[in-house]
Amino acid sequence: MSKDLVSRTQIPASVQEVFALRTSERWVALKAEKLKDGSALVSRTERPDGGVDFSVSRELPAGVPGFLERFLPKEGKAVQNESWGAPDANGVCTGTWSVDIPGAPAKLGGTSTLEPSGEGSVQVIRGTAKVNIPLVGGKAEQYIVEMTQKLMAKEAELMVASLSA
């Protein structure tokens, strides 16, 4: 089994402005400061095609249910990997993302899209959580999806606030 998730955010800025912030070191610093999630840049590469690949280490959320604690890394960190293509001829930007939780029997990842919408742009993030633990896998997937959607909502609020200022 697996659980799907989706997040859709209207942003009052162009795709290019959102892409520039979303793939910058500044975004990682903003998340660390405003969301207090321990975000730290692991690596960042600008590709010749205008795309950007980067990895960010971040703390796992507090309050993990007891049945999941033993499956999580002791240092409580995960690495989020993102690969974004530059905006295409239609102004649409697409990317992929995944989260690596060392030692955990879980997979989390999906796709992201930024596209022009009205006076700004819309960001759509889709993903799937898969946990390979007999009996409690479905419950763990539900927890991961709920926590990821909460995090996506906080990041979306920060993105909108940062680009509205």
What pLDDT was estimated at residue 63?
77
**pTM metric for this prediction:** 0.89
CA 100 to chain centre: 12
Alpha carbon distance 67, 136 (integer Å): 8
Express each pLDDT in 86-143 by its tens digit: 999 999 999 999 999 888 888 999 999 999 998 899 999 999 999 988 888 888 899 8
Express each pLDDT in 62-82 by its tens digit: 777 777 777 776 777 899 999
Question: Is the pLDDT at 26 greater than 80, yes or no?
Answer: yes
Alpha carbon distance 86, 77 (integer Å): 29
Burial of 43 (0-12, 13-18, 19+ CB in 10 A): exposed
What pLDDT was estimated at residue 100?
92
Query: Which is the CATH superfamily of the domain at 3-164?
Result: START domain (3.30.530.20)
3-state secondary structure of 158: helix
